Every structure is written in structure tokens, then in C-alpha cells.
Amino acid sequence: MTDRLEDFQKIREDLNEEILACGHLGIKRFFALDHQAYELGALGTKTKELLGLVASGVLRCDDCITYHLVRSAEEGWNRNEVIDALNVVLIVGGSITIPHVRRAFARMREIEGLKPSSNAG
């Protein structure tokens, strides 16, 4: 994982734009539904982002983990809370998730609020 967060986000945005402009209504609607799933409902946005992070973790999708790490920090989860969620990933998903947890730790180095020193008292 030598790509920087910034590069990941640029490529992601660029391709999302191409996909949304491709003219397929079903895909467009699914992207909208995906977005809405994390908006305020019976559950709050903050809780939902952590659900998204754990779902991405156990399904072992690095790009999805990166996305939800960034959003989780924006919603106010701190480093220790995110690490506690990654422990749930590890226990539910087993050692096969370790490489993804490793990359999550590497990614957190780039995210304000989740950096290694973030919870240092």
C-alpha cells in the first residue's frame, strides 16, 4: 500500500464521476442508496460509519476501510475507539483480516484524529 490517501481519493472521485455519467440508472440509484444508508435514520450517522468500517473490515476491502476510516474520524470517533472496532473485525473475521488491519493502521497515520499520537494524554 504505497499509495497516499490523497491519490486514492482523487482516483476514486474521478472514477465515481465516470460511473455516474455512464447513463445506467440502476447504478446511479444504487450509489444514491449507498450514500443514504449512512445518513441520519433510526441510527445516527456517527454510529453508522463505525458499522460501515466493521462491515468493510470483515469483508476485507481495503478501499472501503480507507473510506470509512476517513469518515469515522470526521464523525468524531477517536483512535482508541477505531482500534476497538478493528478488534471486533479481528475477532469476528480471524487472522485472515490481519493484513487489512495492518493496512488500516498504516492508513490511520495519514488521517487527522486517528494518528498514532492522537490519544496520547
**Which residues of the chain form contacts with its own copies (CB under 8 A)?**
12, 15-16, 18-19, 22-24, 26-27, 29-31, 33-34, 36-38, 41-43, 47-48, 50-52, 54-61, 63-64, 78, 80-81, 83-99, 101-103, 105-106, 116
| Least gap, CB of 42 to its own copies (angstroms) | 4
**With respect to its own copies, which residue has the nearer C-beta, 56 or 70?**
56
By beta-carbon proximity to its own copies, the closer residue of 70 and 86 is 86
Hey, what's the cell of 100? Answer: 487489512
Least distance in angstroms from the C-beta of 90 to its own copies = 5
- Shortest Cβ distance from residue 118 to its own copies (Å)? 11
Q: Whole-angstrom distance between the N-terminal and C-terminal Cα of the chain?
A: 30
Which CB atom, from 74 or from 105, has the smaller least distance to its own copies?
A: 105
SS (H, E, C) the chain: CCCCHHHHHHHHHHHHHHHHCCCCHHHHHHHHHHHHCCCCCCCCHHHHHHHHHHHHHHCCCHHHHHHHHHHHHHCCCCHHHHHHHHHHHHHHHCHHHHHHHHHHHHHHCCCCCCCCCCCCC
- The least CB distance from residue 84 to its own copies, in Å, is 4
